[in-house]
Amino acid sequence: MSRSEAEKPREPAVRTLAMPADTNPSGDIFGGWIMAQMDIAGGIVAGQRAQGRVATVAVNAMEFHQPVFVGDLASCYADVTRVGRSSITVRVETIVRRRRTGESVKVTEGTFVYVALDADGKPRPVPAE
């Protein structure tokens, strides 16, 4: 018997290692670096749902819970929460695995909105599932 969708482990849309070049003067990873990783993850999921090109049009409800440190393995999980005529809303959360302890910690979450684009860069309808 196969496992249902709800029982399958979630796969991250993006997984990357926080590196020293991504730090602020305090040695923590820049929030902008984390947001960029989240935008990439959301864009991947939105592009799959749109079956093509998308562009970010908004970032809503961004919240930083914990800092990210050099050496943390950051995994961004993204789920479509709403589909409009040409827009796709994606909830993204970032969970890091701490290099020193191996602990998993949710560090950020946010809502990103993308618009599906045609070959000329104009909004187009999102195809039905």
Domain membership flag for residue 128? no
Beta-strand (E) ranges in the chain?
14-17, 54-64, 73-83, 87-97, 104-116
CA–CA gap between residue 87 and residue 25 (Å, rounded): 37
* Averaged pLDDT score across all residues of the chain: 93
Q: What CATH number does the domain containing 64 carry?
A: 3.10.129.10
pLDDT score, position 26: 86
Q: Which residues contact 66 (CB under 8 A, 6 or more apart)?
A: 96, 105, 106, 107
Domain membership flag for residue 121? no
Domain membership flag for residue 1? no
Quick: pLDDT tens for 66-117: 999 999 999 999 999 999 999 999 999 999 999 989 999 999 999 999 999 9
Domain membership flag for residue 2? no
- pTM, whole model, 2 decimals? 0.91
Average pLDDT on 36-57 reads 98
Average pLDDT on 28-41 reads 96
DSSP assignment, residue 6?
Answer: G
Domains: count for the chain: 1
In a 13 Å sphere around the CA of 34, the CA atoms on its Cβ side amount to 30
The percent of residues in the chain predicted with pLDDT above 70, rounded, is: 94
Q: Which residue has the tokens 């949710």?
A: 106
CA–CA gap between residue 15 and residue 2 (Å, rounded): 27
pLDDT score, position 128: 94
